Amino acid sequence: MKTSYFILALLLSIAVCRSIADEGMWQPYQLPAMAKELVAKGLEIDAKSISTLTEFPMNAVISLGGCTASFVSSKGLVVTNHHCAYGSILHNSTPENNLLEEGFLANDFDQELPASPGSRVYVTEQVTEVTEQVTSGLEKQTGNAFYQGIEQREKALIADCEKTAGYRCQVYSFHGGLEYYLIKQLEIRDVRLVYNPAGSIGKYGGDIDNWMWPRHTGDFSFYRAYVGEDGKPADFSEDNVPYQPKSFLKVSASGVAEGDFVMVTGYPGRTNRYRTAIEVENQFQWTYPNSLELREKLMEIIKQTAAEGSDARIKYESTLAGLANYAKNFTSMIEFYGKSAMLSDRKQREAQLATWINKDKQRQEQYGDTLAQLDALVAQSQEYKYRDLILSYMRYSSLMPTARRLYRLANEKMLDDMNREPGYQQRDMPRFKSGLERMDRRYDAEVDRAILLEMLTRYGALPTSQRLPALDKVFAIGKTMDKAALASRLQTMYEKTELENMDVRLAWMDRGVADFEASKDPFIQAAVAMYKTDRDIEQQRKDLSGKFMKVRPRYMQAIIAFNRDQGMPVYADANSSLRVTIGHVKGYSPEDGLLAKPFTRLEGIVAKDTTVEPFNSPAAQLELIAQQTYGDFYHKPIDSVPVNFLSTLDVTGGNSGSPTLNGRAELVGLLFDGVYESIIGDWGYDDQTNRAISVDSRYMLWVMKYVDKADRLLEEMEVVYND
């Protein structure tokens, strides 16, 4: 085992050194092997420091659990995207004091507002390779036995890691399970909202400009991390003090110019660059089109049910933003897949891989039937794909999933903690509770009922062979779908349930199985009735996942060895762990005859402005632009203050809020989006069209200084000026 992983690491290092393009989401440990290349591209700090998580700049970059952020002062000040702080802004908003529209600025520490329940700041401190500890001795296991074996090993490693109070640990798999790493993060639990610009700056352009260029969005906001007086993580308390990070990023007032080196450190979510042709075909020709239609329908339901400006609409603004974001994402995926040769390229790659394998007897023995086995498992996973898709979208309603989670918790609590399902262990209870608390600001009964009615109506139209008898019984769905009868049943259930009350929901966390079985609450009754079916489906999923976990690593091992022979770069697909990407400030040509320049200017805001949302820049900002109030943030090549800029950085969802750094590791921007043509980059990087969008640090500082008068924060940060 040890020899094989040494060889794998060597192959990865060789491949890294051969990399030329800006493609790649690199694990920090890989970076020293590409030091010469990084210096040639423009890195001015020691490449080894980027691979050392306890040193600058890596210890200044943090995760928010879905977005990236960074420390920008010695007093725990955190900068991230406006859309990453959206939930906390929403949590503190009311129709009378709408922080989403008006913005918010705390003039002192005691005015900073608690972020939404469950908000966390995670500081990665240690990454340890644990492949042998996770997989050793399980070689003969398969299916559910292998899945459970891996899970138990991971839970044991996590439990040992979390013996140190204040830490959150997680085991991540790389290359489909070829490697496993234990990641240890300091978990800061007291997070507060410090400043967000008005939505007419932070969301300027809204859904219309989302994924588009040119862009003029001030997508930034500030949090602060607090700890107990002893310097350790603590729950919210007025006695808590600002966290003092080991280092923080300086913010550049000089920014970058076209062609400059840039680097991003962050937590990219998921990419799929090593998926097989059959997986690509299903995703683009079936999953994306059907998911797009469902998202568009959900947005329509929310808008029709929750009037604009109402408390209900405010509660669902974050949900709408997420739905719209991925609806546009899926639209782009479908469009550019149709124009691309992605499917034929994957088939060609697999044919080349097969030829390479067949040229060597040892490779035939090791990898010969791997792709066929993988394709067979993929086909098996798609047997109930439309039913599974509909059921997955039921999560956009709240009461049914909440009741099922609560009843699952009651059952899990009958087991020893180490034998509980991940998500239901003692370590998970703060998150579990926060989820129940957050529901108050993200739930409206009428909207929730309308969403559930839509999903159940679609489910009821499935052939009976595709349906679940227990679910049919719960909602009285017969062979023929009767939507009126279903609507009436749901109306009664929502009228009788008490789960809409937060105190009631929280109280159920401490109830036993017998209490659930005796309950008259209709959604609790539904959860009890669905429990066996839910567990049966889960066991089937785990059995299939266990089979994938045996085959996928062999496929990836073959890909890595094959790529090594071709001199191609090798990096693991994104999996929400800390990665580093490198690139340059550069425009692109979206289509023949068009050239997109790498910077947008303040004057572009005026050109777009209609005084109507989402192009309704604050009057004070428009006046400042008209007066050419550029201050210290003027960029001569564009004769204005830069607003957003393009780069060749290889990023994806989860990178939102990542600091865009120059060669000295100074913050020159915040990454917040990509161009429309690059969305398909989750499946394959194209050097000609993959472009990331960052809000320029000069625009951020300009808004803070001239528009919102955030002098307190500007004085707290270390703003640097370079020639």
d(CA 466, CA 385) in angstroms, rounded, equals 10
pLDDT value of position 723: 62
Q: What's the mean pLDDT in 157-185?
A: 97
Q: How confident is the model at residue 31 (pLDDT cuts 50, 70, 90)?
A: very high
Question: Quick one: average pLDDT of 207-232?
Answer: 97
Residue 550 has pLDDT above 80, yes or no: yes
**pLDDT tens-place string over residues 587-631:** 999 999 999 999 999 999 999 999 999 999 999 999 999 999 999
What does the block give as tokens for 247?
């280092």
pLDDT digits (tens, 9 = 90+) for 701-722: 999 999 999 999 999 999 999 8
Q: Quick one: average pLDDT of 463-467?
A: 94
DSSP β-ladder status, 667-674 and 692-696: antiparallel
What pLDDT was estimated at residue 555? 97
DSSP 612: B
Give residue 18's pLDDT. 41
- Taking residues 347-356, report their average pLDDT: 96
Instruction: Report the mean per-residue pLDDT for the chain.
Output: 95
- Predicted confidence (pLDDT) at residue 443 exceeds the cutoff of 70: yes
Rounded mean pLDDT, 441-455? 97
Q: At residue 13, does pLDDT exceed 50?
A: no
Query: 439-462 burial string, b = 16+ CB within 10 Å, else e?
Result: bebbbbeebbbbbbbbbbbbbbeb
pLDDT of residue 454: 98
Nearest to 487, CA basis, from 465, 462, 455: 455
8-22, 72-86, 143-157, 299-313: lowest mean pLDDT where?
8-22
Question: What is the rounded CA–CA span in Å between residue 167 and residue 153?
Answer: 19
Which residues form the catalytic set?
83, 219, 656
| Distance from chain centroid for Cα 426 | 24
Beta bridge partners of 68: 63
CA distances from 345 to 275, 337, 359, 535 (A): 12, 12, 21, 39
Amino acid at 610: T
Q: What is the mean pLDDT of residues 258-276?
A: 97
Identify the pLDDT of residue 532. 98
Q: At 141, phi and psi to the nearest 5?
A: -80, 155
Q: What is the 3-state secondary structure (H, E, C) of 223-258?
A: EEEEECCCCCCCCCCCCCEECCCCCCCCEECCCCCC
pLDDT digit string, tens, across residues 226-260: 999 999 999 999 999 999 999 999 999 999 999 99
pLDDT average, residue stretch 265-279: 97
Over the stretch 376-408, which tens digit does the pLDDT of each residue have? 999 999 999 999 999 999 999 999 999 999 999
In three-state secondary structure terms, 573 is coil
User: Which pLDDT score, from 0 to 100, does residue 14 have?
Assistant: 41
Output 20 or 534, whichever has higher pLDDT: 534
pLDDT number for residue 4: 45
Cα separation of 325 and 208, whole Å?
10
Does the pTM surpass 0.85? The reply is: yes
Check residue 722 and give its pLDDT. 81
- pLDDT given at position 90: 93
CA-CA-CA-CA torsion sign (343, 27, 674, 292): positive
Does residue 293 register a pLDDT over 80?
Answer: yes
Residue 610: name the closest of 82, 203, 204, 199 by CA: 204
400-432 pLDDT tens trace: 999 999 999 999 999 999 999 999 999 999 999
Average pLDDT over residues 553-561: 96
Domain residue ranges in the chain: 277-551
